[in-house]
Structure 1
Amino acid sequence: MILEPETQRLGLTTLPPEILHNVLCFVRPRDLARVSRTNKHLNNFVQNNGPLCREIYLRLLDDPSESAASADLDWQHELQDFVRLTRVCDKAWREKAPELSFVHDVVVRVLKRSSCTDRTSVKRTRNAVTFSPSRNTALLAQIFADESTRREFLCQSFIWQRARGKGKYFDRPPKPEHQMSAKLHCLYGVPQLDTAMIGKGSAEVTPTDQTYEDAEQHGIFAYALAKVYDLRDFHPHATWGPFLADDSGRVDWERLEAIMIVIKHGISRMGLEEEHLLFDICWNRPFDGAWKNSYVPMPFIRPAEDDLDKEDPFGVSGTYLRVICFLDYGDFFNFNFHNGVVEHTGELVTNDMPRPVVSVGEAARLMMMKIHVTKIEKLEGRDEDKGPDAVVVHFAGFTELLHGFGSQNLSSTIKGKVRFTPDGEVRWTTISVFAGQERWSSEGIQIGGPKSAKCIVGNWFDVNHDPTGPVGPSAFWKISDRDPEVNDDKFSTSDVLPWFSPSGNGPVPDEVEAEEIILDDHSISGSETDD
């Protein structure tokens, strides 16, 4: 055997740039920094190498070229941020709390840049699976799989701090970190109901803290319920909806978080997740569908030729499932008007204090809603080139009760409108009409943005804003599309077909290969905290 002379052996530093690029594009993202520290030649090659970082990024994540958020990307910065996100969210990373703002910004950015792997061929894997496949959401779901990560980043809003004995007084205005954590929780999409998420034994809760004993007894649901049904939050400055009470029209993510917890509790009590895949898909799949245009139409419905549907930037027309919850009015009235003393201390409740939690039963109702666009209104004083920001989409339709009142027929007509909020979220307003009289109204925000597969989450109230209520939480989500050949005043087979999908764990969408979304020590995560 003849050995080559030492001088003829080739190393990475001797390779032509195009070959070196093809070698390094298969390096783990977290190892790229280590490669650059090996020697000066590799450092010069890796630093500011946008094409290399782009190729590594696209091996793991969605191609953001289809999203409006993709212009002028700094690929090296994006890759570094994603790698840091996986490290910060790793179980071994000890100081997570200071990283909340960073985690929030990166997660929101990654979701905005989500896209299906092939939009031309995307289809539903099952009739009830309404979202399109995304590598971004699959990776984020695995990054947040650890309980400690979810507790530190998703469970830090005011209701969680109150459950830990730290929330005696409201924060006015709300703390930014509370809003960021609540928004992450909403985008995650699976409300955390486990008492363990409150954090027994943490430094924030002392063994003698009576509040934790209450939290262990009632769970986070009781604190969410106390926020959702507090009439003091329903006033003109928040337009009676899930908005900040400063006349800005911006979303109050802490309120949305509390509403999602209460709705999820109601769905679980009715056993709907075990009976219907539609509920499992929408309420038990982390991050799935929580991005713009993630909704996938039914495959056998022809696109509508109606000009209004073509011009609608929100994808309003279609069939929706809706869940509303409410308290017995006696319990509701007592909670708001006869609940003015803090238990254990006897302290009077003031306007800057949350009401004491109470053990009351909550009822839930399930409805199906069919709506269609009736008018698209261009907002005055705005340029047409501003696109969907410059329009309000009006709709009308009807609802039918599916669960909750036995054989009673409580159908109603419904109307409303959809538009953007000042901070770019999608706002839905609905008005329910019984026997020709407007009775109930609701305000909600579509989680994930326009045409997302996630819920429109908000609250309902008396259309005349009765100061004594009642009020309650509401959520609805699209399950099917409008068939232009079917009467808009009745349900068709295509409207209800997803309802009959069997329960169980739906598949990972076909277009995402399993090996592409696994995060382990051989991919981009790990327990190290250097670099």
Structure 2
Amino acid sequence: MSAMMLSCVFPIPSEITERALALCHPRDVASFSQTCRKAHRLVYRSPDPYLWRQLFLLFPFDDPRQMESVFLGDSHFNWRKELLRRMEAQLIACRKNSKLEDLLRAIDTFVSVVRTAAPVAMGHERVSSPNLLWVVDVLQSTNMLRSPLIASEEGNQSLARLRSYLALTLDEYDEDDDEGKERLKLIWMRSRYQVYDLRNYHQGNAWGPFTTSGEVDWTHIESIINVISLNLYDRPSLWPDARPRCGLEATRAYSAPGTTARATGDWAGVEGHWRRYVCFMDIRDLFALNYDNGGRGLQDSTYFDNLNFPDAARLIELKLTLIDAQAIPDIYTLDRFPNSPYEHYPTLYFTGSSWGMPGNEATVIGSVTMSESGVVRWRFASVSDSCIKWSSEGIQIGSIASAFGVIGTWTGVHHDRADPVGPFWLYKVEDDHPSYMRVHT
């Protein structure tokens, strides 16, 4: 910008200049700031956050002030810092030779953007989140998630978390795409090893998809999603009208059916009708994988290739109702969650009924809590013939009452060596939905 142009700009009140700059792309504002000291001071040292707030909101991104503080972690939102952080993540994703540490920093940013997407509001259920549209656009246009550097970082929790939110929605392929088919086959095999390895379930992680420190094990969550998704994908004619929603829009708070008008006190959107997919291996194959010859299947990379059938899948329907903590039956002997650290999210308790194939009716008893890290945890058990038989541990994917639902694992309540284990996907449906199992059985 020439000196003559600058001399024309700065006699204008700074408020007017800021309004004009707010209509520009952030990189153009950065270029303007480098023209002289006055421009730099106006852009970066103004005590009023107006310019950066407008640049952020008009990009556009969701207004973070709509989010609960538990998800932001800090009630004072730094508009400039966060916008520059997102612009940097986009640049990293666009580079062909980004360093691994840069790629992982970008992934952390994308996860944060998903978590701070605005909740679904009543009457605006079909309005998409700009946050999520931006993340999908960047990841689709750059193909960043298939970087060889990232692929080698299998243990990275942030990467697994982002992939869990996406749920293979960016891994679709055409019928003649042999490379895509092979990639999904490898994902399925690797995920089944993770899910059906009994060493991954013990008292230290509550027999669920958690670490021994109590944090979510996102590599395990991703494997669960992959196993169930690919099982359903492999059976297109099986329950075609009863598939769970997935992808980033399904992670938004209160995107589950009916939860924008949930009952007072039901912050997690528990009450209502649900569907639940459970998967499992034949018990003989599960034991062969884990125990025969010292668990030879766990060292044999071709083990699942040699199986001539996939793991089984079942669809279960549920109706849940909140109850008072004092009304929990004595039979519910599972460890209860401690009181929530958040005043507005007290631990909730529920009961209800579940049904699937004829003869598999049961009572469900459980609880939901908000963890200190802002992840909603579910714990419940199935009771039939006055005996508690199965226990389940899971987490809500995304934010409160997300349409994506709850991902986790189920096993025998006594956690005996001979107990099976498997993944589940629990998601909410409309209260007036037709009962799929009662109509089709």
TM-score (norm 1): 0.69
Q: 1:242: Cα distance to partner?
A: 0.6
Secondary structure of 2:418's partner?
coil
Question: Which residue identity does 1:51 align to in structure 2?
Answer: Y
C-alpha change, 1:235 and 1:216, in structure 2 (3 Å) is same
> Can you give the 5+ residue segments of structure 2 that lack an aligned partner in the other structure?
327-335
Taking the aligned partners of 1:423 and 1:376, their CA distance within structure 2 comes to 23
Q: 1:364: Cα distance to partner?
A: 0.8
- Where do 1:88-487 residues align within 5 Å? 88-90=92-94, 92-116=95-119, 119=121, 121-125=122-126, 133-146=128-141, 148-152=143-147, 156=151, 161=154, 175=155, 178-190=156-168, 218-244=185-211, 246=212, 248-271=213-236, 275-276=240-241, 279=243, 282-283=245-246, 285=247, 287-295=248-256, 297=258, 304=263, 310-338=264-292, 340=294, 357-359=303-305, 360=307, 361-376=310-325, 386-388=342-344, 391-401=346-356, 408-480=358-430
Taking the aligned partners of 1:217 and 1:9, their CA distance within structure 2 comes to 56
Equivalenced residues, count = 412
Question: Which residue identity does 1:65 align to in structure 2?
Answer: R
Residues 319, 371 of structure 1: 8 Å contact kept = yes
Residues 259, 401 of structure 2: 8 Å contact kept = no
Taking the aligned partners of 1:314 and 1:387, their CA distance within structure 2 comes to 14
Secondary structure of 1:270's partner?
coil
Taking the aligned partners of 1:8 and 1:32, their CA distance within structure 2 comes to 15
> Can you give the 5+ residue segments of structure 1 that lack an aligned partner in the other structure?
1-5, 126-131, 162-174, 202-214, 305-309, 344-348, 482-493, 500-531
Deviations 1:22-45 (A, max 9, x none): 211111123221121123332221
- What is aligned with 1:525? none
Secondary structure of 1:32's partner?
helix
- What is aligned with 2:55? 56
Q: 1:388: Cα distance to partner?
A: 4.4
Taking the aligned partners of 1:61 and 1:101, their CA distance within structure 2 comes to 22
C-alpha change, 1:324 and 1:153, in structure 2 (3 Å) is farther
Taking the aligned partners of 2:369 and 2:5, their CA distance within structure 1 comes to 68
Secondary structure of 1:181's partner?
helix
Greater relative contact order: 1 or 2 (C-alpha under 8 angstroms, separation 6 or more)? 1
Question: Which residue identity does 1:268 align to in structure 2?
Answer: Y
Taking the aligned partners of 2:152 and 2:408, their CA distance within structure 1 comes to 18
- What is aligned with 1:40? 37
Question: Which residue identity does 1:288 align to in structure 2?
Answer: E
Taking the aligned partners of 2:132 and 2:292, their CA distance within structure 1 comes to 45
Residues 292, 451 of structure 1: 8 Å contact kept = yes
Residues 314, 450 of structure 1: 8 Å contact kept = yes
Question: Which residue identity does 2:64 align to in structure 1?
Answer: P
Deviations 1:104-141 (A, max 9, x none): 33223323322158x3x53444xxxxxx6311111111
Secondary structure of 1:366's partner?
strand
Secondary structure of 2:343's partner?
helix
C-alpha change, 1:61 and 1:45, in structure 2 (3 Å) is same
